[in-house]
Amino acid sequence: MCGIVGYVGSRNGTSLLVDGLKRLEYRGYDSAGVSLMDGGGIETRKAKGKIAMLEAAIGSMPIQGNVGIAHTRWATHGPPNECNAHPHHDCSGTVSVVHNGIIENYGPLRAMLKKTGHTFVSDTDTEVLAHLIEAAFDDNLEEAVVDALALVEGTYGIAVICSRDPDKIVAARKGSPLLIGLGEGENYIASDVAAILQHTRHVVYLDDGEMAVVTRTGYRVMDLNAQTIKKRVNRIDWDLDKIEKGGYEHFMLKEIFEQPQTIQNTMRGRSVDEDGFSKLGGLNLSREELQHFDHIIITACGTSWHSALIGKMMIEEHARIRCEVEYASEFRYRNPIVSEKTLCIVISQSGETADTLAAMREAKRRGAKTLGLVNQVGSTIAREDDGGIYLHAGPEIGVASTKAFTSQVVALALLTLKLGRLRTMSVVQGRVVTQALEKLPEQIQNILDRAGEIEKIAAAFTDATNFLYLGRGFNFPVALEGALKLKEISYIHAEGYPAAEMKHGPIALIDADMPVVFIAPHDSVFDKVVSNVQEVKARGGRVIAITSRDEPSLDGKIDYEFRIPETIDMLNPVLSAIPLQLLAYYIAAKRGLNVDQPRNLAKSVTVE
């Protein structure tokens, strides 16, 4: 989603800001812009489309300056065009604002400002901020920003510069991530650490309701009543190569191939084989508290919601705790039953998804303890949950989530072990799980070594217009995930269903043009899935099967087959998801599509 970078120092900020924007490209955007304090006034360049277009605009009319802000926009109010791109200005051109989030009352504010003589040039909600700051400005930018924000309803992460108070950036946060990067004689603002990691590893995360005044020599964080807040400086410990392609054609492919390592990282030091137990230091819950819960709600969006469905099955089967899965966007506006015996597990790769964050806050408000399964270290969910399990999968840049999904499933398995062993799960049963977990990295490598087989299958389906994904038990959520991967990056319509549910409607779609992917490893429901394969084949459908051994019962019923290694039922999704990630990837790449930044999508959805 939208991205923010800001710089205040003594270097020319132009290329520094544009490079920062490039690091945020993965988040998804449709236009970009930059403003710099240029010899007393503010100069701005903007462009629709990719950052290369912005570079061209700067190339034909260069700007420079050592205080500046820049933005990648993902359109919400008004179409993606140069005028609606950020930064936005006031009437006199002395204030420049970039904004992530949504100003909900921008309509009445705009009408009020127009009545007092302000002229608007864009369709955006953001432009009201520039005019409000202009109207409130006396001689100090931070005071004007405080006064302006007092009138605003909605969410924001903003960075503001002003030529009448020129040596600073003022930033403020409510619901949209923002951090300060600390350098030597220079400082930064960013919505995502990737934008500034090239320059500094030391960052201060802003929390909701906080604002910062950032100058060359320092920073001050305060609340909206101007009370200073002491903040912790965090050190980022991952390297820039983690956000580079490392020889792969796309980030998505790189991230798929990283999975033997990322799974290892999720498990490191946490799976204790001799006791069939897991050690999860970050839960912040005592043994008694863990035994006290009799109800679990798992809430998430998208791919993370699919892993939540797998988590529910694991927890109910092995820990025997009643468990519900809720879309975060629905949970936050329902009247859910939550008690002090409820544990709310929140799953999010980015840790910034607006709906998931709001659902977690709602669960907390209703008295539940919250646990975050989050990948992005230092993200808002990770900072606001009561405890959690970091996925340690490393930065995920491809918009389509891959390695985060498999790490989520492994983290849920570790949590299931913890909860189960405190209840009915025996040491022997626990060891079956820990031993199966330990084998996963090698088994994933085995699948990846045969990626060429999937590429060949993909070649037969690049012109498909529809796909059906079917699975049962633990592999039903994998069917949903396989379909989501395909539709996100290849724009082919795809649906996931529980295999037996097909008879209740989707079977009407099956003909020789309908590819059907069956996720059919040899598990407790395999024989049932065979009957469903038979039903598809009888209607002429083309069957691609993900199996795990030679199955005579499938002879003559499948057109394409890919074998995955065998594991226990609850861990099958970790292995069966990978060929589906590859299938989606190869189909999209063969169609010549922008795999890492599919149209209309954003990596981190920070608006409702």
Per CB under 6 A, residues contacting ligand M6R are 301-304, 348-350, 353, 356, 399-401, 484, 488, 601, 604-605
Copy the structure tokens of residue 179. 């951090």
Q: What is the DSSP string of 185-224?
A: S-EEEESSGGGTTTT-SEEEE--TTEEEEE-SS-EEEEET
DSSP state of 506: G
Between residues 250 and 537, which has the closer beta carbon with respect to ligand M6R? 250
**Distance in angstroms (rounded) separating the CA atoms of residues 39 and 34:** 16
Between residues 124 and 604, which has the closer beta carbon with respect to ligand M6R? 604
Between residues 66 and 356, which has the closer beta carbon with respect to ligand M6R? 356
Task: Supply the minimum distance, in Å, between the C-beta of residue 476 and ligand M6R.
Answer: 17
DSSP state of 98: E
Query: Catalytic: which of 46, 48, 537, 603?
Result: 603
Q: Under DSSP, is residue 182 helix (H, G, I), strand (E, B) or coil?
A: strand
- Residue type at position 95: V
Total residues belonging to the chain:
608
Phi, psi of 355 (to 5 degrees): -65, -40
Task: Supply the minimum distance, in Å, between the C-beta of residue 301 and ligand M6R.
Answer: 4
Beta sheet of 234-235, edge-to-edge order: 41-48, 31-38, 67-73, 3-8, 187-190, 179-182, 202-205, 234-235
Q: Alpha carbon of 354 to those of 23, 268, 360, 548: distances in Å?
A: 22, 30, 10, 39
Between residues 102 and 533, which has the closer beta carbon with respect to ligand M6R? 102
DSSP E strands in 439-576: the ranges are 466-471, 493-498, 515-519, 542-547, 560-563
Judge residue 539's burial from the number of C-beta atoms within 10 Å of its C-beta, 0-12 exposed, 13-18 middle, 19 or more buried: middle
Task: Supply the minimum distance, in Å, between the C-beta of residue 288 and ligand M6R.
Answer: 31
**Distance in angstroms (rounded) separating the CA atoms of residues 35 and 71:** 9
Copy the structure tokens of residue 138. 């006396």
Task: Supply the minimum distance, in Å, between the C-beta of residue 303 and ligand M6R.
Answer: 3
Look at the block and give the residue holding tokens 């038979």: 534
Between residues 301 and 564, which has the closer beta carbon with respect to ligand M6R? 301
Q: What b-and-e string marks burial along 397-406, b requiring 16 or more CB atoms within 10 Å of the CB? A: bbbbbbbbbb
**Strand pairing partners for 212?**
171, 221
Between residues 55 and 488, which has the closer beta carbon with respect to ligand M6R? 488
10 phi-psi bin (left φ>0, alpha ψ -120 to 50, beta other): alpha
**Distance in angstroms (rounded) separating the CA atoms of residues 436 and 56:** 53
DSSP E strands in 191-320: the ranges are 202-205, 210-214, 219-223, 234-235, 271-272, 277-278, 295-300
Angle at 564 between CA 510 and CA 411, to 5 degrees: 100
Task: Supply the minimum distance, in Å, between the C-beta of residue 348 and ligand M6R.
Answer: 3
**Residue with the CB atom nearest ligand M6R in the bound state:** 302
Task: Supply the minimum distance, in Å, between the C-beta of residue 323 and ligand M6R.
Answer: 19
Angle at 424 between CA 422 and CA 429, to 5 degrees: 95
Task: Supply the minimum distance, in Å, between the C-beta of residue 415 and ligand M6R.
Answer: 17
Angle at 538 between CA 473 and CA 481, to 5 degrees: 30
- Residue type at position 214: V
Task: Supply the minimum distance, in Å, between the C-beta of residue 247 and ligand M6R.
Answer: 23
* Active site annotation includes 2: yes
Task: Supply the minimum distance, in Å, between the C-beta of residue 99 and ligand M6R.
Answer: 21
Task: Supply the minimum distance, in Å, between the C-beta of residue 493 and ligand M6R.
Answer: 16
Between residues 74 and 106, which has the closer beta carbon with respect to ligand M6R? 74
Between residues 13 and 302, which has the closer beta carbon with respect to ligand M6R? 302
Between residues 488 and 523, which has the closer beta carbon with respect to ligand M6R? 488
Between residues 33 and 598, which has the closer beta carbon with respect to ligand M6R? 598
* Active site annotation includes 603: yes
Between residues 266 and 547, which has the closer beta carbon with respect to ligand M6R? 266
User: Quick one: which of 349, 332, 365 has its CA closest to 608?
Assistant: 332
**Distance in angstroms (rounded) separating the CA atoms of residues 226 and 238:** 34
Task: Supply the minimum distance, in Å, between the C-beta of residue 341 and ligand M6R.
Answer: 26
Q: Alpha carbon of 425 to those of 473, 484, 570: distances in Å?
A: 20, 34, 14
- Interacting residues of 463 by C-beta distance below 8 A, sequence separation 6+: none
Q: Report the catalytic residues.
A: 2, 603
